[in-house]
């Protein structure tokens, strides 16, 4: 890129776009890789949240949503009579318990909110180890960690913008995009890497574009608030926000007590309208007050668009006050993009497709990063002593690509091994994730690159493969039992971890077997410590 | 500063200029687009979404433009030319509620 303006002859568009692609890809690549991989894992966020709470038995059947809502609201109101707000996520096949939040003057959390999990059948509070579960990968994916969430979101947004530019410039660079998709030159060093990079990129191109654009759109109120601020009145501004986040009109308490209407009947009414299982959550404002409001919100799993749909009821007489089901074309476009990104509407088969294409996206970023070093290695003046920038990129690649797998596995190890009674246990699971990752950065600087790749891939394979063993030893959900019971949150996670362990072993083996091709012109250019050129 | 060092710093200036154009010029263009969208003959709330959706794509397009053209001057000139009509349209959009 530095030559863009200095070269005597203007360079072709393909060349300048290639430079642009390479540099935006490299600069944002490491964070993008982490965003892609943790985001990929988040397609199984609910399953991971169950896998990390092995104390909670998987129920054989799901009770009626209306009865569950009524039972849980009653239980919370009995326990916290001063509650001013109660939010419930109703159980689903993927998440068979009630997850609740309630605000009261004595609440311990933010804005006076307490939270808890409740048994769907009995309404009793569920006891489980303190864990971030699948929510950690999900939140890290767009908030990062150890910094205010807003900083994380701006960094992530900048990287997503780089990604969008990398996609557009990559397509322009790659002129024979579909012909090349069917071309794969095995064992040809740099060409194989390029073909592999192109294959995983083109394979999921519509997905990669959608996921990047929609990711930006999801946080557009933060990144691009200028149009919103120009809307003439505040109410309209609130209405825009309410198409992106569930945001009920605020309701003041009257101060006169009145019994809360039968919430179950309202959930039933919603299910009659949208179908069984389509009532996703319930929000109660001012329960036990004359001005109580109950909203039954449609489940995100029941439709693609995430623009909130809900029925709003008067909480004292149960009268239907408002039906929110329509959003307008542009708001729906946004809602569909948002929904496509989250994939919450996906059934099991589509969820697996999401997972696989998203892994291809991760591989796209990973192969792109490695390609940067493969391409430059051939031009090194002295392959034994590469310049600082080359070594930096090489080490960062190792610790990001192979090291993140180790860190993610370490997180699950921490979930299994940290004492259940430990203080701030959930926070320590996350600390151990970052400690393991930091150790991989140190390791990558201490070993020769080839050894660092192999050792980290092997370590990841080992940690992943032993997780099902650890689960069998420390929980009542050993793989054979979970398989026999058809308990897929446990069996599926264990099997996926084993498959990922196999993938990492394969990567380690290919790296170990790899001997860099000696160049015919300069045989001495081959390096003993070359980066793996396998496993694209 | 020696002459050769000055020269090498100067040689980097067009690239720095392009990077600034891509980051900030492109963003400014997207921001203008998100405001100008309010002039569309549709409901204001829908216009806000339209502006957001289009803004990011315009920014990406602007970055590609900035690095595709022959010189840094042209890159800026293109951005200014694209910004002018958006700026004029954005002027016609009323002031917000101060959010």
pLDDT in tens, A451-506: 999 999 999 999 999 999 999 999 999 999 999 999 999 999 999 999 999 999 99
Residues 6 or more apart whose CB falls under 8 angstroms from that of A348 comprise none
Closest CB to B52: pick one of A16, A220, A328: A220
Q: Is B94 on the interface with A (CB under 8 A)?
A: yes
The segment with the largest mean pLDDT, out of A234-238, A317-321, A378-382, is A317-321
Q: In this structure, are residues A159 and A35 in contact, taking their beta carbons and an 8 Å threshold?
A: yes
A259 and A319 within one domain = yes
Do residues B63 and B22 touch, judged by C-beta distance below 8 A? yes
The pLDDT of residue A174 is 82
Give the CA distances from residue A216 to residues A25, A109, B23, B70, in Å, rounded to whole numbers and listed in that order.
17, 29, 15, 30
pLDDT at position A302: 92
A82 vs A114: CA distance, rounded Å:
12
Range of the domain at A493: 13-52+137-218+349-525
- From A143, A130, A128, select the one nearest A38 (Cα to Cα): A143
CA atoms within 13 A on the CB side of B48: 27
Claim to verify: residue A415 and residue A490 sit in the same structural domain: yes
pLDDT tens readout for residues B21-30: 999 999 999 9
Does residue B10 sit at the A interface (CB-CB below 8 Å)? no
pLDDT at residue A111 in the model: 87
User: Is A151 found in the same domain as A108?
Assistant: no
State whether residue A165 sits within 8 Å of chain B by CB: yes
∠ CA A424-A430-A434, nearest 5°, is: 135
Query: pLDDT band for position A520 (50/70/90)?
Result: very low
The answer to whether residues A414 and A493 belong to one domain is yes
Residue A331 lies in a domain: no
Say if residue A168 is in the same domain as residue A85.
no
Q: Does A226 touch chain B (CB under 8 A)?
A: yes
Quick: pLDDT tens for A155-179.
999 999 999 999 999 999 887 666 6
On whether the CB atoms of residues A144 and A30 are closer than 8 A, the answer is no
Contact between chains at B46 and A330 (C-beta distance less than 8 A) = yes
Task: Tell me whether residues B68 and A239 touch, CB distance under 8 A.
Answer: no
* A213 contact residues in B (CB cutoff 8 A): 56-57
Q: How far is CA A95 from CA A62, A92, A131, in A?
A: 10, 5, 16
For residue B91, is pLDDT > 80?
Answer: yes
Q: What pLDDT shows up at residue A497? A: 98
Give the count of domains, chain A.
2
d(CA B56, CA A167): 13
Q: What is the reported pLDDT for A530?
A: 44
How many residues can be counted in chain A?
536
Q: Does the structure show a pLDDT above 90 at A525?
A: no
Cα dihedral A493/A496/A500/A506 (nearest 10)? 150
- Dihedral (Cα; A185, A188, A193, A196), 10-degree rounding: 20
Q: Is residue A530 part of a domain?
A: no
- Cα–Cα distance, B75 to A166 (Å, whole number): 18
The model's confidence at residue B80, banded by pLDDT at 50, 70 and 90, is very high
Q: Which pLDDT score, from 0 to 100, does residue A177 have?
A: 65
Question: What's the rounded Cα separation, in Å, for the pair B96 and A260?
Answer: 40
Residue A341 lies in a domain: no
Note whether A330 contacts B38, CB cutoff 8 Å. no
**Chain A partners within 8 Å of B38 (Cβ):** 227, 230-231
A184 pLDDT tier (thresholds 50, 70, 90): confident
> Which residues of chain A neighbour B46 with C-beta distances below 8 Å?
328-331
Residue A322 sits at φ, ψ, to 5 deg, of: -150, 140
Burial tier of A503 (Cβ tally within 10 Å: 0-12, 13-18, 19+): middle
CB contact under 8 A, B60 and A220: no
User: Chain A closest CA to B33's CA: distance in Å?
Assistant: 8
Q: Are residues A403 and A276 in the same domain?
A: no
Instruction: Examine the domain organization and report whether A94 and A143 are in the same domain.
Output: no
- Calculate the average pLDDT of chain A: 91
Domain match, A398 and A478 both: yes
Position A532 in a domain:
no
pLDDT digits 0-9 by tens, A404-445 = 999 999 999 999 999 999 999 999 999 999 999 999 999 999
My answer on whether A33 and A67 are in the same domain is no
| Residue A219 contacts B, CB cutoff 8 Å | no
How close is the nearest chain A Cα to the Cα of B90, in Å? Answer: 10
**Mutation for testing the A interface, residue in B8, B38, B49 having most A CBs under 10 Å:** B49
Q: How is residue A303 written in tokens?
A: 């439709």
CB B49 to CB A243 under 8 A? yes
**pLDDT, average across residues A286-310:** 95
For residue A26, how many C-alpha atoms fall within 13 Å in the half-sphere facing its CB? 17
Q: Report CA torsion sign: B35, B40, B46, B49.
A: negative
Tokens 């433009």 sit at which residue? Answer: B65
- Cα–Cα distance for residue pair A129/A420, rounded to 1 Å: 6
Q: What is the pLDDT of residues A392-403, one digit of tens each?
A: 999 999 999 999
Question: A330: buried, middle or exposed (CB in 10 Å: 19+, 13-18, 0-12)?
Answer: buried
On whether both A293 and A407 belong to a single domain, the answer is: no
Number of H helices, E strands in chain B: 4, 0
Q: Are residues A357 and A436 in the same domain?
A: yes
- Going through A329-445 in order, the beta strands assigned E by DSSP cover none
pLDDT(A226) > 70: yes
Distance CA A397, CA A30 (A): 7
- Number of A:B CB contacts under 8 A? 134
**Same-domain pairing of A151 and A182:** yes
Residue A416 lies in a domain: yes
Go through chain B and tell me how many residues it has: 99
**What share of chain A in percent tops pLDDT 70?**
93
Q: Pick the last residue of a domain from A274, A295, A326.
A: A326
Threshold 0.95, pTM exceeds: no
User: What confidence tier does A273 reach under pLDDT thresholds 50, 70, 90?
Assistant: very high
Q: Nearest residue on chain A to B46, judged by CA atoms?
A: A330
End-to-end CA separation in angstroms for chain A: 26
Query: Within a domain: residue A7?
Result: no
Determine what percent of chain A is predicted with pLDDT higher than 90. Answer: 79
Query: Is A106 a member of any domain?
Result: yes
Between CA A262 and CA A265 the distance in angstroms is 6
- Nearest C-alpha in A relative to B44: A231
Residue A147 domain-assigned? yes
Strands of B1-99, DSSP E: none
């Amino acid at each position: 890129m530095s030559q863009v303006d200095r070269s005597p002859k203007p360079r072709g568009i393909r060349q300048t776009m290639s430079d642009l692609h390479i540099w935006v890809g490299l600069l944002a690549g490491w964070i993008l890789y982490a965003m892609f991989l943790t985001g990929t894992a988040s397609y199984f966020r609910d399953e991971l949240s169950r896998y990390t709470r092995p104390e909670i038995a998987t129920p054989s059947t799901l009770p009626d949503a209306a009865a569950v809502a009524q039972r849980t609201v009653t239980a919370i109101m009995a326990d916290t009579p001063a509650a001013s707000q109660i939010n419930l996520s109703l159980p689903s096949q993927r998440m068979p318990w009630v997850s609740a939040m309630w605000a009261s003057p004595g609440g311990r959390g933010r804005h006076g909110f307490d939270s808890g999990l409740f048994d769907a059948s009995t309404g009793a509070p569920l006891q489980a180890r303190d864990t971030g579960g699948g929510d950690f990968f999900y939140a890290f994916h767009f908030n990062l960690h150890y910094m205010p969430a807003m900083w994380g979101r701006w960094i992530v947004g900048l990287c997503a913008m780089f990604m969008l530019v990398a996609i557009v410039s990559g397509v322009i660079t790659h002129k024979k995009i579909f012909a090349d998709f069917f071309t794969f030159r095995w064992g040809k060093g740099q060409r194989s890497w390029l073909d592999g990079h192109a294959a995983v990129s083109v394979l999921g191109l519509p997905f990669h574009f959608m996921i990047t654009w929609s990711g930006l759109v999801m946080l557009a109120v933060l990144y691009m608030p200028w149009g919103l601020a120009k809307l003439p009145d505040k109410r309209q501004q609130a209405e825009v926000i309410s198409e992106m986040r569930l945001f009920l009109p605020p309701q003041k308490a009257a101060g006169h007590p009145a019994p809360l209407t039968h919430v179950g009947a309202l959930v039933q009414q919603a299910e009659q309208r949208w179908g069984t299982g389509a009532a996703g959550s319930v929000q109660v404002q001012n329960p036990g007050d004359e001005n109580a409001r109950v909203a039954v919100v449609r489940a995100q799993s029941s439709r693609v668009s995430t623009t909130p749909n809900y029925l709003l009821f008067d909480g004292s007489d149960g009268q239907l006050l408002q039906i929110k089901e329509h959003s307008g074309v542009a708001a729906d476009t946004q809602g569909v993009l948002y929904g496509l990104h989250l994939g919450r509407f996906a059934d099991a088969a589509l969820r697996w497709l999401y997972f696989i294409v998203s892994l291809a996206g991760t591989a796209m970023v990973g192969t792109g990063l490695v390609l940067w070093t493969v391409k430059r290695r051939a031009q090194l003046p002295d392959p034994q002593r590469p310049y600082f920038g080359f070594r930096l990129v090489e080490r960062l690649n190792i610790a990001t690509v192979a090291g993140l797998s180790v860190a993610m596995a370490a997180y699950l190890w921490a979930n299994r091994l940290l004492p259940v009674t430990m203080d701030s246990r959930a926070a320590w699971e996350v600390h151990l994730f970052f400690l393991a990752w930091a150790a991989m950065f140190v390791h990558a600087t201490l070993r020769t690159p080839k050894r660092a790749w192999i050792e980290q891939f092997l370590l990841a394979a080992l940690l992943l493969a032993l997780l099902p063993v650890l689960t069998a030893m420390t929980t009542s959900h050993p793989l054979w039992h979970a398989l026999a019971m058809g308990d897929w949150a446990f069996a599926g996670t264990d099997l996926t971890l084993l498959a990922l362990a196999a993938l990492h072993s394969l990567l380690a083996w290919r790296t170990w077997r790899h001997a860099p091709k000696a160049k015919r012109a300069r045989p001495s250019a081959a390096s003993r410590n070359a980066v793996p050129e396998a496993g694209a | 500063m020696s002459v050769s060092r000055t020269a090498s710093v100067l040689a980097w200036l067009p690239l720095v200029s392009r990077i600034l154009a891509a980051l900030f010029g492109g963003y400014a263009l997207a921001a203008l687009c998100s405001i100008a969208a309010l002039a569309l003959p549709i409901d204001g709330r829908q216009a806000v979404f339209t502006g957001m959706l289009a803004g990011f794509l315009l920014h990406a397009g602007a970055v590609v433009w900035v690095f595709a053209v022959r010189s840094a001057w042209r890159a800026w000139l293109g951005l200014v030319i694209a910004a002018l009509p958006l700026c004029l349209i954005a002027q016609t959009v009323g002031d917000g509620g101060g959010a």
